[in-house]
Structure 1
Amino acid sequence: MTASVAMDLQPKIAALRAHPSFPQASRALAIGLTGFYRGGPLLNWLMDDRARVVLSHVVLHSHFARDPADPSSGLTPTRMKELCSEFDLCSPGRATAMLSLMRFAGYLAPDPDADDRRRRPLVATPKLLDLLRPRWRSHFRSGVPVFPDGAVLAERLDDPAFVRAFLAAMFGRYKDGFRLIMYTPGLGLFGDRSAGMMIASTFLAAGAENDTVPPSRPFAISISELSRRFGVSRAHVAKMLRDAAPDGLIMRAGDKGEEITLTPVLAEALSVFYANAFIFFFDSAREAAATLDGDNRNIGERRQRSA
């Protein structure tokens, strides 16, 4: 995505945010994504929430994109370190550590068909796709109020060819410069700290049914619950909230500061972030569908001509 193409996303983001059902869709997505979250002290130390999402997509795409005629293709530690650096995900050392953790957890395995063991090629196991597919479905099903094709795209995730094309489309956007936090400097420390986006997403969905999304009225939070839910220490959550107030992201009230009000800066950034995420996933999926449908039409036409 060149700079000019990236700039074109801003009108799409504005149009999506103006849709009357966008608040409902963004709240549903925030609830879904925070419900799927899996973290822990080591994972959080190695790589932030967003980077782990991108890495999982890059790993799967590299697995499926292996070209037997190209020894440098496929899923190798060297390639992953290069891409982690290119996409600003983490250092080469942390990329190596993340791959080791993924192997230990059963998401990756050594390539049993590798001819050159020096490259240490890996393969993604079905367990990794089983982890990600429900999260992708959450994006599409949450988006149905504003994207009528969301249910159809969610169903197509059962098609291996569609999954490969979907991953390729997402990878192409990353290569072209897309980032989930584009246009959202107002996320501040929530965009940088461990579990920060999950905590901010919890805030987005925390309002009463008759409140706005993100909420404009105060809501109560529990530091202990946020700590337990997202695998970070209570001290980490408490410091994040303490720092967010003077940064102009939240206001706190109550005896222990348990009542939170989002400032317009953070509310705006969260809304833009979720609009950007919806556009990224739906545009990638639609590109994948168009590619596959076009290929199928071409095959059908060739068969008709040869009949």
Structure 2
Amino acid sequence: MAFSAEQLAANPLFVEALQAFAMQLRGRYDEQPRLARFLASHQRWLLSQAAFALHLEYDPEEPNSGLTTTRLREIVTTGNAASRNTVLNFLDQLVSYRFVKIAGDPARRPRRFEAAEVTTKAMFGWMVANLAALDGLDGGSRAKTLVDKPELFKLIQPQVARRSFDNVQWREPPPRVAMFLWREAGGLVMDELIRRVRLSEEIGGRFDIGRIDARLIAEQFMMSRTHLQRLFRKAIDENCLQWQDETKKSNLWFTADFLAEYCRWQAVKFAIVDQVFEEANGKLAAEAECAASHRNAAVGEP
């Protein structure tokens, strides 16, 4: 039985699962910093997931299927996640960075795009990391199943993308979460903070996250130091973070209520991933069983 968002948010192990997930994502950033940073805002997450779903759904028998500007714009603008110009700029950047390529004749209209190998690998790895985080909660084998049966990915990713996009709770994060996630590279910063939370050191509804070196973090994530310091100041004003020493302003607390708020938001997406995985795995197993039955019947025929 797949986890619900409520079950995940209430699970005492969920924060640890999010920390493990954040560390996985940090490792992927270290491997492919340009790609990871490019997708490290919630708007670009939505755009990239929708674009990759269209790529996987391409059907040669359907002339206008696959990833095209028009089809991506239809999905994204319907949910008010981005403007038409943002979609166009997003695709132009994907081509410029060689994360996607134009399929077939460039003069053909509408132009269709295909994901590059590095993008497909990153998307697959992201899905494995999500499933591994869920496995950490119940000792499951979702991640191993996907690795062993990569054909599941084509069933899972488009549904995760579409259901996530259709879910307003995920598409529109609560204001304090959005303060981080709607900013460029904000997802990387949030993962870094979550990774640093010391769960065993809660004091007065706050968790120690140690010393935060804005200069170093900005350098690591290729951000403006001024931009990052402004974000931290706003997070402190909104009671997401607190200085441990108002005079020195070096070490920080991460407030428990903000952590709970972030967990509730992440739980929405993880519940979608779990539900889609369960459905896709069941479908694949049923198809395999049906095929085996047909083979056995054929062997038994006179």
TM-score tier after normalising by the smaller chain length:
0.7 to 0.9
| Partner in structure 1 of residue 287 of structure 2 | 295
| Partner in structure 2 of residue 187 of structure 1 | 177
Q: Cα offset for 1:117?
A: 0.5
- Distance across 1 between alignment mates of 2:165 and 2:226: 37
Give yes or no for the alignment of 1:130 onto 2:121: yes
- Distance across 1 between alignment mates of 2:113 and 2:197: 44
| Partner in structure 2 of residue 202 of structure 1 | 192
Aligned residue for 1:144, secondary structure, equals helix
- Distance across 2 between alignment mates of 1:229 and 1:154: 31
Aligned residue for 2:101, secondary structure, equals strand
Q: Cα offset for 1:12?
A: 2.6
Matched residue type, 1:138: A
Q: TM-score, normalized by length of structure 2?
A: 0.83
- Distance across 2 between alignment mates of 1:68 and 1:302: 28
Give yes or no for the alignment of 1:252 onto 2:243: yes
Aligned residue for 2:253, secondary structure, equals strand
- Distance across 1 between alignment mates of 2:9 and 2:256: 15
Q: Cα offset for 1:155?
A: 4.3
Tell me which moved more, 52-61 or 73-82. Answer: 52-61
Q: Cα offset for 1:84?
A: 2.1
Asked if the contact 1:109/1:124 (under 8 Å) is kept, the reply is yes
Matched residue type, 1:170: V
- Distance across 1 between alignment mates of 2:187 and 2:14: 19
- Distance across 2 between alignment mates of 1:217 and 1:23: 14
Structure 1 residue aligned with 2:231, among 213, 235, 240?
240
Structure 2 residue aligned with 1:167, among 157, 170, 176?
157
Q: Cα offset for 1:32?
A: 1.8
Q: Cα offset for 1:186?
A: 4.2
Number of corresponding residues: 291
CA gap of 1:73–1:188, structure 2 versus 1, over 3 A, is: closer
Q: Percent identity among equivalent residues?
A: 19
Asked if the contact 1:169/1:288 (under 8 Å) is kept, the reply is no
Runs of at least 5 residues in structure 2 that lack an aligned partner in the other structure: none
Asked if the contact 2:169/2:265 (under 8 Å) is kept, the reply is no
Q: Cα offset for 1:76?
A: 0.9
Q: Cα offset for 1:244?
A: 1.7
Asked if the contact 2:164/2:171 (under 8 Å) is kept, the reply is no
Structure 1 residue aligned with 2:134, among 143, 153, 160?
143
Aligned residue for 2:215, secondary structure, equals helix
Matched residue type, 2:220: R
Aligned residue for 2:61, secondary structure, equals coil
Please report the RMSD computed on the Cα atoms of aligned residues, expressed in angstroms.
3.0
Aligned residue for 1:89, secondary structure, equals coil
Q: Cα offset for 1:178?
A: 5.4
Q: Cα offset for 1:233?
A: 0.5
Tell me which moved more, 117-126 or 253-262. Answer: 253-262
Aligned residue for 1:217, secondary structure, equals strand
